[in-house]
């Protein structure tokens, strides 16, 4: 059994000039050869979880707009440029979420930009966001989903005045192509929709709260100081496994048994079941969002 950490850099080094975590090959010790991986506190990753409160699901569903008023960009990068920094299941995360939207929630595939591996370049990610901006409007629903490497810098990387910034890492996997939280905030600053879901399954993603705002949900797979995990027992990122595969597709997150799984229900289920990493959320959406 092998477990990999979804981090911007597997071996943490500080770039002297920028005080930035650097991306290099994984430490040999992070690969578990057999049995269940256990966390530093001795809890098996597969140990049944006790619910963590407070839960964010209200049980009151806000019905989605029609399919022609819903727009999504879904990104999953396992195969990065070169061979040193590849992951295994981020592409599966993206494909599973795409499947959930189209098969469970009735989304039109023509309203989804799916960028996997080499398709998820810096330029293509920005073009996909531009495509959503051009098409969305008041009352529409917008989703930005990312699974891949994440990292952080402590030198105001995006000139937003914050000493610590977090980022997502496009396929190019070099510093000049990183997309920082302040960059994403600027990209979405003029969106008209007040029904927006941001989803990050990446290390340090808990720092993506710059994207918070009225009518917005920001779901993050770990705290801003934590790594996020993927592994063969899930065949996904841990967060996405419980949120999408088990929570949505297997319908296990339907807390109020109404036949529908809202984003809030899926998040509560994932948070209750994740180990080592602690998913976090910024919820400024009235009631519960049904994708």
Query: Is 149 among the catalytic positions?
Result: yes
CATH assignment at residue 9: 3.40.50.12660
Please report the pLDDT score of residue 157 as a whole number.
Answer: 64
Where is 105: in which H helix or E strand? none
Would you say residue 264 lies in a domain? Answer: no
Would you say residue 91 lies in a domain? Answer: yes
Evaluate if residue 73 carries a pLDDT over 50: yes
Among 22-36, 132-146, 181-195, the range scoring the smallest mean pLDDT is: 22-36
CA 56 – CA 268 distance, rounded (Å):
7
Gyration radius (Cα) of the chain, Å: 18
Terminal CA-CA length for the chain:
34
Query: Is 203 among the catalytic positions?
Result: yes
More confident residue, 258 or 54: 258
CA 245 – CA 243 distance, rounded (Å):
6
Active-site residue, from 69, 90, 111, 149? 149
| Burial class of residue 99 (count of CB atoms within 10 Å of its CB; 0-12, 13-18, 19+) | middle
Number of helices followed by number of strands (H, E) in the chain: 5, 16
Structure tokens at 243: 């949120």
pLDDT band at 165 (very low <50, low <70, confident <90, very high): confident
Structure tokens at 32: 């578990």
Evaluate if residue 274 carries a pLDDT over 80: yes
CA distances from 272 to 2, 6, 48, 111 (A): 23, 20, 9, 32
The arithmetic mean of pLDDT across residues 135-143, rounded, is 97
Would you say residue 139 lies in a domain? Answer: yes
CA distances from 63 to 140, 144, 251 (A): 11, 19, 18
More confident residue, 16 or 171: 171
Q: Domain limits at 96?
A: 3-26+63-235+279-289
Would you say residue 55 lies in a domain? Answer: no
Tens-digit pLDDT profile for residues 226-262? 999 999 999 999 999 999 999 999 999 999 999 999 9
Please report the pLDDT score of residue 48 as a whole number.
Answer: 39
Reduce the DSSP state of residue 288 to 3 states and report it: strand
* 107 cis-preceded (ω within 30 degrees of 0): no
| Burial class of residue 223 (count of CB atoms within 10 Å of its CB; 0-12, 13-18, 19+) | middle
Please report the pLDDT score of residue 206 as a whole number.
Answer: 96
Average pLDDT score, the chain = 84
What count of Cα atoms within 13 Å lies in the side-chain half-sphere of residue 59?
5
Please report the pLDDT score of residue 152 as a whole number.
Answer: 87
Structure tokens at 203: 């290390």
The arithmetic mean of pLDDT across residues 81-109, rounded, is 96
Would you say residue 246 lies in a domain? Answer: no
Tens-digit pLDDT profile for residues 107-133? 999 999 999 999 999 999 999 999 999
Please report the pLDDT score of residue 20 as a whole number.
Answer: 35
Q: How many CB atoms lie within 10 A of CB 20?
A: 22
Would you say residue 82 lies in a domain? Answer: yes
C-alpha closest to that of 274 among 259, 245, 257: 245
Please report the pLDDT score of residue 35 as a whole number.
Answer: 26
Please report the pLDDT score of residue 28 as a whole number.
Answer: 29
The arithmetic mean of pLDDT across residues 193-209, rounded, is 96
Active-site residue, from 90, 167, 173, 203? 203
Query: E-strand spans in 183-275?
Result: 196-201, 216-220, 228-231, 236-237
Please report the pLDDT score of residue 234 as a whole number.
Answer: 96
pLDDT band at 158 (very low <50, low <70, confident <90, very high): low
Would you say residue 108 lies in a domain? Answer: yes
pLDDT band at 74 (very low <50, low <70, confident <90, very high): very high
Burial state string for 235-264 with b = 16 or more CB within 10 A and e = fewer than 16: ebbbbbbbbbbbbbbeebbbbeeeebbbbb
The arithmetic mean of pLDDT across residues 143-155, rounded, is 91
- Our count of domains for the chain comes to 1
Evaluate if residue 38 carries a pLDDT over 80: no
Please report the pLDDT score of residue 46 as a whole number.
Answer: 41
Would you say residue 196 lies in a domain? Answer: yes
Evaluate if residue 12 carries a pLDDT over 50: no
CA 138 – CA 91 distance, rounded (Å):
31
Please report the pLDDT score of residue 136 as a whole number.
Answer: 98
Any idea which residue has 């720092």 for tokens?
207
CA 229 – CA 243 distance, rounded (Å):
14
- Strands 141-147, 70-76: pairing kind: parallel
């Amino acid at each position: 059994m092998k477990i990999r950490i979804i981090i911007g850099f597997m071996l943490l080094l500080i770039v002297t000039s920028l005080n930035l975590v650097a991306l290099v090959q994984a430490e040999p010790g992070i690969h578990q050869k057999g049995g269940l991986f256990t966390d530093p506190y001795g809890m098996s990753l597969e140990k049944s979880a006790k619910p963590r409160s407070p839960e964010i699901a209200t049980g009151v569903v806000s019905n989605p707009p029609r399919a022609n008023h819903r727009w999504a960009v879904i990104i999953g990068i396992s195969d990065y440029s070169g061979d040193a920094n590849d992951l295994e299941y981020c592409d599966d995360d993206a494909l599973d979420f795409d499947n959930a939207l189209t098969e469970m929630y009735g989304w039109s595939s023509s309203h989804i930009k799916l960028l996997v591996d080499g398709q998820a370049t810096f330029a293509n990610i920005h073009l996909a966001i531009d495509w959503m901006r051009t098409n969305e409007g008041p009352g529409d629903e917008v989703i930005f989903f990312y699974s891949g490497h994440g990292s952080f810098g402590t030198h105001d990387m995006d000139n937003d005045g914050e000493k610590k910034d977090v980022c997502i890492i496009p396929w190019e996997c070099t510093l000049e192509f990183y997309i920082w939280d302040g960059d994403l905030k600027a990209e979405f600053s003029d969106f008209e929709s007040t029904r927006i879901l941001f989803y990050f399954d990446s290390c340090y993603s808990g720092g993506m709260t710059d994207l918070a705002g009225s009518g917005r949900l920001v779901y993050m797979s770990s705290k801003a100081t934590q790594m996020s995990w993927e592994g063969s027992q899930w065949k996904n990122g841990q967060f996405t496994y419980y949120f999408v595969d088990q929570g949505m597709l297997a319908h296990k997150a339907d807390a109020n048994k109404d036949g529908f799984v809202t984003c809030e229900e899926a998040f509560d289920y994932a948070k209750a079941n994740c180990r080592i990493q602690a998913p976090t959320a910024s919820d400024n959406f009235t009631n519960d969002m049904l994708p």
